[in-house]
Amino acid sequence: MKLYEYDAKEIFKGNSIPVPEGSLISNPGDAEKIAGKLGTVAIKAQVMTGGRGKAGGIATSSNPKEAYQSAQRILGMSIKGFPVNKLLVEEYKKPDKEMFLGITIDRAAKCPLIMVSPEGGIDIEEIAKTSPQKIMKMRINPLTGMHDYQARMLANSLNKDKSLAIADIMKKLYRVFINYDCTLAEINPLADTVDGIFALDAKMVIDDNALFRQDFREEETGSLEETAKKNGMSYVGLDGDIGCIVNGAGLAMATLDMIKQYGGEPANFMDVRAGANEEQIKIALRIVSSNKKVKAIIINIFGGLTKCDEVARGIIDVIPEIKVPLVIRLAGTNENEGWDILGKHGINLASSSEEAASEVVELGNSNK
């Protein structure tokens, strides 16, 4: 279970991890009032996805009027399918240096893994890809916990002059990670400011299997991800324009890779999972096609428990609502029946995943 940034920051604050002073709001007038008290503020969309900054979901405002205008603009936005209904308005802390600090699970080693980098911020994924040597990692024995020397070593790699403060935050973050049954606890950026070291952003993911002993309740967000989850499917919004509906996470990832190989950009990850029925296929198509950026949709089904004829009937029932071209690949259980149903309606059919990916990218490009 993911937590919103404001929830994670409340937990950080309760565990003496420094965070900027701020408040959660849902209307522009409150942003104006808070800016009147705090001065320059950061206004941040509260959604369950990354990429807020690049999508325009974060703004800095130097006066109340500007704060009102920024809040008004961001509220009601949709970021990767997530509607923005809440904003975190907090005191702006200008970072002199941005660092990265995260704790996750090393599943192979069966222990917590701490990762740090002297270069934090929105491009940390690119740094991990192009300059992996800039990310230091250290495994922690779950029976003994984090030792002081481990915290000092990692803190020194970030900023020797501020290593004591950073090491203190690191140890507190590790306690949060353990006490709240996290699979991820992350500060990015961990910022060196004129007022000291602050967690300017906060991310926490709680192990779903441990929710029975944690006092968290999932909120109704109305997001595409939530709609998919309620119907037994997985959906993650991405930045491209090729909609994807696939059964099986492995095949879904392979389909995304093939779309990129042929020069396209996926708009989403969607796994309708094994045994998807006619109704779930209809819901999946409605979810994916509701993204206004989508120019074409690929449906890639390998039928085992999922029956191809049921998939075909679901597609036919909802196709009058779909305004973008579809490319469909069906293989496996009852595939001949599925092909017969779709063939009668003149739908683009592909005999392989590669053919489907190539064709959907071509259709997407011609539909721009």
Q: What is the pLDDT of residues 86-118, one digit of tens each?
A: 999 999 999 999 999 999 999 999 999 999 999
Q: What is the pLDDT of residues 10-69, one digit of tens each?
A: 999 999 999 999 999 999 999 999 999 999 999 999 988 888 888 899 999 999 999 999
Q: Reply yes or no on whether the pLDDT at 120 is more than 90.
A: no
Check pLDDT > 80 for residue 80: no
The half-sphere exposure of 218 on its side-chain side, counting CA atoms within 13 A, is: 17
Domains in the chain, please, with CATH? 21-91 (3.30.1490.20), 97-213 (3.30.470.20), 224-366 (3.40.50.261)
Q: What is the pLDDT of residues 176-186, one digit of tens each?
A: 999 999 999 99
CA dist 325 and 316 (Å) reads: 13
> Which of 276, 218, 215, 274 has its CA nearest to residue 248?
274
In angstroms, the CA 10 to CA 37 distance is 20
Provide mean pLDDT across the span 119-135.
77
Q: What is the pLDDT of residue 209?
A: 84
DSSP β-bridge partners for residue 190: 99, 199
| 274 in Cβ contact with 304 (< 8 Å) | yes
Identify the CA nearest to 280 among candidates 344, 232, 236, 333: 232
Give the least confident one: 53-57, 261-265, 313-317: 53-57
pLDDT tens digit string along 192-223? 999 999 999 999 999 988 888 887 665 555 57
pLDDT value of residue 123: 67
Q: What is the pLDDT at residue 217?
A: 62
Burial class (CB in 10 A: 0-12, 13-18, 19+), 69: middle
Rounded mean pLDDT of the chain? 91
Q: Which residues lie closer than 8 Å to 7 by C-beta, 6 or more apart?
A: 204, 216
Q: Cβ(274)–Cβ(247) under 8 Å? A: yes
